[in-house]
Amino acid sequence: MRTITVKDALKEAIIEEMDRDENVFVMGEDIAEHGGIYGVTAGLLDKYGKERIRNTPISESALIGSALGAAITGMRPIAELMYIDFTTVAMDQIVNQAAKMRYMFGGKVDVPLVIRTQGGGGRGSAAQHSQSLEAWFMHVPGLKVVMPSTPYDAKGLLKTAIRDDNPVMFIEQKMAYGFKGEVPEEEYLIPFGQADIKREGSDVTLVANSYLLPKALKAAEMMEKEEGIKVEVIDPLTLVPFDEETIIKSVSKTGRLIVVHEAVKRGGFGAEIAAKIFESDAFYYLDAPLQRVAGLDVPTPYNEKLENFAMPDLEDIKEAIKKTCYL
Amino acid sequence: MRTITVKDALKEAIIEEMDRDENVFVMGEDIAEHGGIYGVTAGLLDKYGKERIRNTPISESALIGSALGAAITGMRPIAELMYIDFTTVAMDQIVNQAAKMRYMFGGKVDVPLVIRTQGGGGRGSAAQHSQSLEAWFMHVPGLKVVMPSTPYDAKGLLKTAIRDDNPVMFIEQKMAYGFKGEVPEEEYLIPFGQADIKREGSDVTLVANSYLLPKALKAAEMMEKEEGIKVEVIDPLTLVPFDEETIIKSVSKTGRLIVVHEAVKRGGFGAEIAAKIFESDAFYYLDAPLQRVAGLDVPTPYNEKLENFAMPDLEDIKEAIKKTCYL
Amino acid sequence: MERSKETLLDMYEKMYKIRLFEDNAVKLFNQGLVRGPMHVYTGEEAVAVGACSNLNNDDLITSTHRGHGHCIAKGGLVDKMAAELLAKGTGYCKGKGGSMHIADPDIGILGANGIVGAGLPIAAGSALSSKMRGTDQVTICFFGDGATNEGSFHEALNMAAIWDLPVVFVCENNLYGLTGPADEMLSVKDVASRAASYDIPGVIVDGNDVLDVYETVGEAVKRARNGGGPSLIEAKTYRIKGHFVGDPCVYRDEEEVEKWKKRCPIKNYKNYLIETAGFTSEELAEIEEKVENEVEAAVKFAKESPDPELEVVFEDVFSK
Amino acid sequence: MERSKETLLDMYEKMYKIRLFEDNAVKLFNQGLVRGPMHVYTGEEAVAVGACSNLNNDDLITSTHRGHGHCIAKGGLVDKMAAELLAKGTGYCKGKGGSMHIADPDIGILGANGIVGAGLPIAAGSALSSKMRGTDQVTICFFGDGATNEGSFHEALNMAAIWDLPVVFVCENNLYGLTGPADEMLSVKDVASRAASYDIPGVIVDGNDVLDVYETVGEAVKRARNGGGPSLIEAKTYRIKGHFVGDPCVYRDEEEVEKWKKRCPIKNYKNYLIETAGFTSEELAEIEEKVENEVEAAVKFAKESPDPELEVVFEDVFSK
Ligand SMILES: Cc1ncc(C[n+]2csc(CCOP(=O)(O)OP(=O)(O)O)c2C)c(N)n1
Ligand SMILES: Cc1ncc(C[n+]2csc(CCOP(=O)(O)OP(=O)(O)O)c2C)c(N)n1
Ligand SMILES: [Mg+2]
Ligand SMILES: [Mg+2]
């Protein structure tokens, strides 16, 4: 099978859905000539023109608000919000409007709105351009939250997001655009709410996604070689809806839970996954305390060594695997 | 000792600190003549005048941003944000600016900024005026997060917040302003990061705060009477900094953890507390799965029965106590 | 501007209906049957009615926390509105929205909104949608003087202007935000002058004169429909009641209220209809009676309707 | 307007220093020593320098993602700046901020800012603070044409206007946002005309003419200092380099860039100093040499400085 990058996989998803449905369009800052800050929409302007590949002013409330207004009146916008850090200037439209509108109106509207954005560190972009804020959106009923890692998942999930009649926060990671992987030529969709067991194992359950999934897989591989520990690596793919069952089943089998995410530890999605296990029947099978491998509780520093130190890495994951196995 | 309401306790704190330090002032929407939407600043205009009890336009970004600008140049503003739901229109200034400024600048500024706001349901204010969003702010390094319940705590914590050189999210609950309790005439402060054991017990650890604390205490009392279960009720008072130790110690003793909060369950602070226990040595003492008593994962409905159903209540807490004791 | 007999009477009916609906809403509120904050439109009826009388059924509006008037003016049904205020399963939102979230997208009512200024970007988007779908729909966006200090006002007007969107921004300048006087909180005397920032027309109308509103908004709607882009219209008016029901109104004096009460848009319009337009008192009385019956029936319907089932709490978080 | 010999030369020195600093910053970036996005000020030097030359040491500025020029113009030290770009412990932010967060509150530099438009409310607040504390400090707030479409622009200007705050809003209209042309993204031709929305002066200056900037901002600063309230000044200028270092600039053509390169603010000012103001080439060459040495030393200092200790990552989250 051919191998492409996450960036190209996302672009293909957009192209296929725009070709399929003329109401799908893209709006955002610098997405047209420039192709978006990480190049996902590069080339689309020539293909679809200015109306459907629509550059907006630097007005994020108006960007999301107008996308919402379009979504409830017959269009299916994909709004690109350049950095997830900038959700902070559009938060009302995301949280109070898009997420709640259907509920507040007693079911009277569909809100087919995709907000594509990217977060995370690794490029020295410092505190205002490196956050991982998915936990905020998980905490808002009415939003779906998607975080792909591989090109295959990125494409299949984005297509599903575009066809979904609900607001979807589609969260990419700036260092993951270059991830390569196999993607079939044929069309496919990936359903929301089904976790993907990326590697089977019987000793430890490790939940990871997005930029850190490859590191988690690598750590699992190394620990199998080095220590004979079999780590089951699960990517939830979507945080909302969340596939509790797969993870509960896995932990019931392994008795050990590690959650890995880039967001700062306090209040990250790892806490929610941990709580779900802690309150489930998997509790009775637990053999070790929770391990969370997550960002330090600090704003992201600019300096490379400091940034790397603040972000979880391979060694941290290996360490957690050893710890949960009492090695 | 005299008994006063939370509302009056807060007002006293503001008065004492304004009298003590001329750089302390209040700004916000409709806080002057009107005294704020729940009356906390009523009467202060006459006492301090328009400069220090400063009505702002309906411009929340400018409200928080200007309070921040004032805070880093010698003033100590208390910014009242009418509803916590409106943090969504000021989120950048709270999260990207106030919270991170000291860190980004390498320690070069103090940010003595208090953001007083209120959240929660119970009044039929519906989905855009009833949220409990403390978990968002917990997830942002650089912010302190305070949630008082009793008048005593409200006063002592607000005074501490005003004297703190860091941005503090001071989160009240609209139904709790009328809570009454003893408050001494003499000045006192309550330190951040020290949980308060509101009721001692040996069978179950129950963490609760804000509006739900009295219900938790009531449930504990009833369960002792009805079932002889001794519930230890702990109010963390501040979510950041968080007093892990007290709760770990308690759970190590009781083996059972219940977390009660009004925010929707998914991604609420209960998850973080659960994760903290799950990863601590208290894990080894656990006798039962976690119980979370929290809001349903839905936007707040307007209808009273539905709203009450969506919010945790006394019965839910009692139920959780029974469940954790396998009754 | 066409002013058919039918339109003139319809406007009277709608204004009268809003007034009566609000009076009843206040009564229901005071009976403890309405929850949360409720904001009534009394005194401002001419704005919503004058503006919406230019719209077709498939045209759109966005509204505010003070939305009952806009809803009725756009053709909303008072029985479903009353039922919603009373949080009944038969209400517009199955009792889940309440006063601040009444919506009827089927007739273009994109919802009241509890967040000041939030409707403006949504209105720009609905206009963008009409334009992209190639319809001739127009969106009217209502908001208050206080909302013009929100960032979203600025962002939405700029966006609508650069894209020539078919939207008419109608500011109801009722002299106050919640309690903040417009003349202290706004850096300009006239909201209309803010149109200069977007190079679009900015016009002031007498918000208590339904015909002035009708005609001026009519021009702007026509312009928008013909691809001429957005306009900003400032209707100078006044809310006779407090900001919310129960507001002690410490920030304004009775004198001012009394002055504006004399400028009642309904009374004045009635006079015009009889004295200038040649209608008879009987014709109007007939309308009044019809409306009275309708509102009375609505309140009855609301009161007699059942609460929503408890399971409804889980519905409508997501579509499908 | 006073134009002492000292001021004139100081302005030349600062402009030259900015240019040289940026050239070196680009070099360091291309050597892989600078991380993240870096935005340079090349071509816009006259704005920051002309504006800040009106300020005292205890006056204040807020800046943007493109902040090096503002920082130098307000008296920032190039060694600490260079060290910050290289993420060193000796940098302004101990290597934790980088290009977008350089700050020196001790001399009134309230920080570069990575969020477009975020500096405007902060500037209003710093001006409010000066006013409340009874000082005569003035705040200059820098921002771009693109930022004028953010809601925060609108909110801050309204607030500053109603409270007569001592702040001067200086818009650097360099014709583009990131890639969005101002003439497509702004609904008005001139940012200055947006002053009408706030009933404050709005003035256009030639942003490539340091004396024009100096004098016009000087008037506004004087006005602000004397209690006359805020102003909006639009400096028409151009960024010669791409938006960020590495920008392929697909959205503009070389011709335009070449045209503006000819209008180099430094070259023109140098001509003025020699031809009109009576300075000699030698005097200027001396300054240039001094600056060259200073910048060279700064780069050396930065390169030789140590990385911050790892523990620094935990510091400064909270005060105390
Ligand atoms: C973002 C936001 N800020 C504040 C409020 C609280 N609030 C509700 S209505 C209102 C006043 C609005 O004034 P205006 O826009 O003039 O409308 P009016 O009430 O006069 O019709 C305020 C401040 C809110 N709902 N949303
Ligand atoms: C809120 C926000 N939106 C978008 C961006 C991304 N961004 C950084 S600089 C920039 C362009 C700013 O344009 P302008 O204000 O004209 O300043 P200039 O770069 O031209 O100096 C954009 C869109 C951002 N940093 N913050
Ligand atoms: Mg008003
Ligand atoms: Mg620009």
Q: Interface pTM (ipTM) of the complex? A: 0.98
Using the beta-carbon criterion (under 8 Å), do C179 and B301 form an inter-chain contact? no
* Burial group, residue B46, by CB count within 10 angstroms (0-12, 13-18, 19+): exposed
The predicted structure's pLDDT at residue B117: 98
Distance, CA of B10 to CA of A325 (rounded, Å):
50
Task: Say what the alpha-carbon torsion angle A123, A128, A131, A134 is, to the nearest 10 degrees.
Answer: -140
Q: Which of D113, D116, D191 to mutate to test the pocket of ligand 2 (most atoms within 8 A of CB)?
A: D116
Distance, CA of D292 to CA of D288 (rounded, Å):
6
> Which residues in chain C are contacts of B30 at CB distance < 8 A?
177-180
Work out the pLDDT band at C292, boundaries 50, 70, 90.
Answer: very high
Residue A97 DSSP symbol? I
Arithmetic mean of pLDDT over chain D? 97
Q: Is C125 a residue whose pLDDT tops 80?
A: yes
Q: Is D178 within 8 Å of chain A by CB?
A: yes
Cα dist. B9→B4, B40, B149, D280 in Å? Answer: 7, 9, 11, 70
For residue B135, which of B273, B15, B306 has the smallest C-alpha distance? B273
Q: Is D198 within 8 Å of chain C by CB?
A: yes
Work out the pLDDT band at D3, boundaries 50, 70, 90.
Answer: confident
Using the beta-carbon criterion (under 8 Å), do D121 and B62 form an inter-chain contact? yes
D185 vs C162, C194, C198: nearest CB: C162
Phi-psi domain of B29 (left: phi exceeds 0; alpha: psi -120 through 50; beta: other): beta
> Which residues in chain A are contacts of B277 at CB distance < 8 A?
278
Bridge partners (DSSP) listed for residue A170 = A116, A146
Looking at residues D218-232, what average pLDDT do you find? 98
Work out the pLDDT band at A234, boundaries 50, 70, 90.
Answer: very high
Q: Is A162 a residue whose pLDDT tops 80?
A: yes
Q: Which of C62, C63, C65 to mutate to test the pocket of ligand 1 (most atoms within 8 A of CB)?
A: C65
B266 vs A89, A127, A138: nearest CB: A138
Distance, CA of D102 to CA of D100 (rounded, Å):
6
The finding on whether D177 has its CB within 6 A of some atom of ligand 2 is yes
Ligand lying closest to the C-alpha of residue D152: 2
The pair of structure tokens assigned to D242 is: 């791409």
Distance, CA of D81 to CA of A306 (rounded, Å):
18
What pTM does this model have? 0.99
Q: Is C140 a residue whose pLDDT tops 80?
A: yes
Q: Is C313 within 8 Å of chain D by CB?
A: no
The pair of structure tokens assigned to C216 is: 């001026």
Q: Supply the residue whose CA is at minimum distance from atom 3 of ligand 2.
A: D116
Distance, CA of B286 to CA of A230 (rounded, Å):
26
Spans in chain B with pLDDT lower than 50 = none
Q: Is D181 within 8 Å of chain A by CB?
A: no
Distant-in-sequence, close-in-space partners of A17: CB < 8 Å, separation ≥ 6: A24, A158, A159, A162, A163
> Which residues in chain B are contacts of A139 at CB distance < 8 A?
133, 135-136, 263-264, 266-268
For residue A137, which of A173, A171, A162 has the smallest C-alpha distance? A171
Work out the pLDDT band at D134, boundaries 50, 70, 90.
Answer: very high
Distance, CA of C244 to CA of B291 (rounded, Å):
40
B61 vs D113, D126, D152: nearest CB: D152
Work out the pLDDT band at C2, boundaries 50, 70, 90.
Answer: low
Bridge partners (DSSP) listed for residue A5 = A180
- Ligand 1 mean position, distance from CA D119 (Å): 25
Q: Find the residue in B nearest to C146 (Cα).
A: B58
- Ligand 2 mean position, distance from CA D177 (Å): 6
Q: What is the pLDDT of residues C13-67, one digit of tens each?
A: 999 999 999 999 999 999 999 999 999 999 999 999 999 999 999 999 999 999 9
Place of tokens 């089977």: A200
List phi, psi (to 5°) of B264: -55, 145
The predicted structure's pLDDT at residue D2: 65
For residue B215, which of B154, B169, B173 has the smallest C-alpha distance? B173
Instruction: Give the atom of ligand 1 at the shortest distance from the alpha carbon of C173.
Output: 16
Q: Give me the DSSP letters along B165-233.
A: SS-EEEEEETTTTT-EEE--SS-----TT--EEEE--SSEEEE--GGGHHHHHHHHHHHHHHH---EEE
Distance, CA of A223 to CA of A235 (rounded, Å):
18
Q: What is the pLDDT of residues A274-315, one digit of tens each?
A: 999 999 999 999 999 999 999 999 999 999 999 999 999 999
For residue A103, which of D239, C187, B310 has the smallest C-alpha distance? B310
> Which residues in chain B are contacts of D101 at CB distance < 8 A?
104-105
Q: Is A105 within 8 Å of chain B by CB?
A: no
> Peptide bond preceding B241: is omega within 30 degrees of 0, i.e. cis?
yes
D151 vs C150, C185, C199: nearest CB: C150
A9 in helix, strand or coil?
helix
As annotated, the active-site residues of A are 60, 129
Work out the pLDDT band at C320, boundaries 50, 70, 90.
Answer: confident
Q: Is C132 a residue whose pLDDT tops 90?
A: yes
Instruction: Give the atom of ligand 1 at the shortest distance from the alpha carbon of C178.
Output: 11
B73 vs D94, D103, D126: nearest CB: D126
Contacts of C283-287 spanning 24+ positions with Cβ under 8 A: C283/C9, C284/C12, C287/C9, C287/C12, C287/C13, C287/C16
The predicted structure's pLDDT at residue C223: 98
Work out the pLDDT band at D320, boundaries 50, 70, 90.
Answer: confident
Q: Find the residue in B nearest to A242 (Cα).
A: B266
Q: How many CA atoms lie within 13 A of A238 on its CB side?
A: 20
Determine what percent of chain C is predicted with pLDDT higher than 90.
Answer: 99
What is the sign of the dihedral through the CA atoms of A200, A202, A207 and A212? negative
Distance, CA of C128 to CA of A67 (rounded, Å):
9
Distance, CA of D51 to CA of D70 (rounded, Å):
9
Determine what percent of chain B is predicted with pLDDT higher than 90.
Answer: 100
Looking at residues C66-78, what average pLDDT do you find? 98
Q: What is the pLDDT of residues A59-78, one digit of tens each?
A: 999 999 999 999 999 999 99
Q: What is the pLDDT of residues C260-290, one digit of tens each?
A: 999 999 999 999 999 999 999 999 999 999 9
Determine what percent of chain B is predicted with pLDDT higher than 70.
Answer: 100
Work out the pLDDT band at D1, boundaries 50, 70, 90.
Answer: low
With vertex at residue B138, the alpha carbon angle to CA B133 and CA B140, rounded to the nearest 5 degrees, is 110
Q: What is the pLDDT of residues D135-167, one digit of tens each?
A: 999 999 999 999 999 999 999 999 999 999 999
Q: Is A135 a residue whose pLDDT tops 70?
A: yes
Cα dist. D99→A117, C277, D16, D73 in Å? Answer: 23, 70, 19, 16
Using the beta-carbon criterion (under 8 Å), do A61 and C130 form an inter-chain contact? no
**Which residues of chain A approach chain D closer than 8 Å at the C-beta?**
29-30, 32-34, 37, 55-61, 85-86, 88-89, 123-129, 296-299, 301-306, 309-310
Q: Is C1 a residue whose pLDDT tops 60?
A: no
The finding on whether D70 has its CB within 6 A of some atom of ligand 2 is no
A198 in helix, strand or coil?
strand
Are D95 and A302 spatial neighbours (Cβ–Cβ below 8 Å)?
A: yes
Using the beta-carbon criterion (under 8 Å), do B125 and C313 form an inter-chain contact? no
Distance from CA of C90 to the nearest CA of B (A): 12
Using the beta-carbon criterion (under 8 Å), do A103 and B289 form an inter-chain contact? no
Q: Is C199 within 8 Å of chain D by CB?
A: yes
H and E: helices and strands count for chain C: 11, 5
Helix (H) or strand (E) holding C206: strand C202-206
The finding on whether D144 has its CB within 6 A of some atom of ligand 2 is yes
How crowded is residue B313: how many other Cβ atoms within 10 Å of its Cβ? 14
- The 3-class secondary structure across chain D, one letter per residue, is CCCCHHHHHHHHHHHHHHHHHHHHHHHHHHCCCCCCCCCCCCCCHHHHHHHHCCCCCCCEEECCCCCHHHHHHCCCCHHHHHHHHCCCCCCCCCCCCCHHHCCEHHHCECCCCCCCCCHHHHHHHHHHHHHHHCCCCCEEEEEECHHHHCHHHHHHHHHHHHCCCCEEEEEEECCECCCCEHHHHCCCCCHHHHHHHHCCCEEEEECCCHHHHHHHHHHHHHHHHCCCCCEEEEEECCCCCCCCCCCCCCCCCHHHHHHHHCCCHHHHHHHHHHHCCCCCHHHHHHHHHHHHHHHHHHHHHHHHCCCCCHHHHHCCCCCC
Distance, CA of B112 to CA of B95 (rounded, Å):
15
Arithmetic mean of pLDDT over chain B? 98
How crowded is residue B47: how many other Cβ atoms within 10 Å of its Cβ? 11
> Which residues in chain C are contacts of D187 at CB distance < 8 A?
157-158, 161-162, 197-200
- Ligand 4 mean position, distance from CA C116 (Å): 29
Q: What is the pLDDT of residues C148-189, one digit of tens each?
A: 999 999 999 999 999 999 999 999 999 999 999 999 999 999
- Ligand 3 mean position, distance from CA B119 (Å): 24
> Peptide bond preceding A241: is omega within 30 degrees of 0, i.e. cis?
yes
As annotated, the active-site residues of B are 60, 129
Q: Is D205 a residue whose pLDDT tops 90?
A: yes
The predicted structure's pLDDT at residue C3: 83
The finding on whether A86 has its CB within 6 A of some atom of ligand 2 is yes
* Burial group, residue D306, by CB count within 10 angstroms (0-12, 13-18, 19+): exposed
Q: Supply the residue whose CA is at minimum distance from atom 12 of ligand 2.
A: D177
